[in-house]
Amino acid sequence: MGFGGRVALITGAGSGMGRAHSLTFAARGARVVVNDVNPAGAEETGRLVRERGAECLVVPCDVSDSQAVNAMIARVGDTFGRLDILVNNAGIPDSGAGIEQTTDEEWRRQFAVHVEGTFYCSRAAIPWLRRSPAGRIINVSSMWGQAGHHHSHAYCAAKAAILGLTKSLAKELGPDKICVNAIAPGGVHTGMTAHRSPEYLAEQYKTIPLGRWSQPEEISSLVVFLASDEAAFITGQVIPINGGQLIVGI
C-alpha cells in the first residue's frame, strides 16, 4: 500500500495514535503534514517522520479554531500543491463524569475538538481532495460512540456525532470520488491512557475476546488501508477495531 508522494494530513499527530499514523504513512512513501495543538509534540513527530526519509510539514494549531484550520490547509496547498488524505484524529480524553457532573465547559470542549474539528478540517480540505486522484477522509471515532458508556457522556455523544457526519460526507462527496470512512477503536495504549492502573486494565482485558488493548500501530494499519487504492470502493462505513470487545455486550 504505497502512496507515491501523495500528501497526508494527520491532526492530533503530536503523540499517540496520530504520531503512529504519521510514521506509518511516511514509511509507505507519503508526504506527511503533522498537526497538533502542542507545538513541541508536533515538531518531535515531524523529526521522526523526516528520519524515515519522508517530506514533512509541521503545522501546529487548534482544530477547533476554524480560521486556524483554514490557514493550515492554505499552507499545505502552498507547500505541496495538493492534499490527498485527511485523517481527523485530533481528540481529547473523556472526563469520566456522570451526567449530573458534566459541566457546560466539558460538553462544549468535547464537541469543539471532536466534532467541530472534524467539520472544519474536512470543509477546508475538500477543494483540494476534489483535485486528488484518490481523495480520502478518515475520521477517528470510538467504540464508545457506537455503544455508549455509563459515564463520559460528552465524549460518547461527540464521538457518535462523528459517525453521522462521516455518512453524510460520504453521500455528498461520492460523486467526486472522495471516500469518507470512520474507524472506531477500543482501548489503545497511548499517553492519553497511560494513567490507567494495572487493576483497571486487567478488568478491561476480561471483556475483550483477544484479551488486550491495541497498540497504536495496529490502528494505523487500518487507517492506511482506508487511505489506499485497495480501499477505493469503501465509503460511508464505520469500521470497529476493538479486539472483539463490542460483540460481547459491553
Per the DSSP assignment, residues forming a β-bridge with 185 are 241
Dihedral in degrees, nearest 10, Cα atoms 204, 103, 15, 29 = 100
> How many other β-carbons are positioned within 10 Å of the β-carbon of residue 115?
20
How many C-beta atoms surround the C-beta of residue 198 within 10 A?
A: 7
Residue 1 domain flag: no
pLDDT in tens, 31-78: 999 999 999 999 999 999 999 999 999 999 999 999 999 999 999 999
The total of structural domains in the chain comes to 1
Structure confidence at residue 191 (pLDDT): 81
Query: Is pLDDT at 150 greater than 90 in this prediction?
Result: no
Question: Is 205 one of the catalytic residues?
Answer: no
What is the percentage of the chain residues whose pLDDT exceeds 70? 99
Residue found by looking up cell 494495572 in the block: 198
Q: Give the residue-averaged pLDDT of 157-183.
A: 98
Q: Indicate whether 151 belongs to any domain.
A: yes
Residues 6+ apart with CB under 8 A from 82: 6, 7, 128, 131, 132
In the structure, what pLDDT confidence band is assigned to residue 116 with cuts at 50, 70 and 90?
Answer: very high
C-beta of residue 9 within 8 angstroms of C-beta of residue 61: no
Q: Which of 120, 155, 200, 205 is labelled catalytic? A: 155
- Residue 249, pLDDT above cutoff 80: no
Residues for the chain: how many in total?
250
CATH number at residue 80: 3.40.50.720
Residue 191: CB partners within 8 Å, gap ≥ 6?
A: 15, 16
Question: What's the chain's Rg over C-alpha atoms?
Answer: 17
Within a domain: 2: no
- Band of pLDDT at residue 164, cut at 50, 70 and 90: very high
Mean pLDDT in residue range 229-234 = 98
Residue 48 has a CB neighbour count (10 Å cut-off) of 16
* Residue range(s) defining the domain that contains residue 60: 7-248
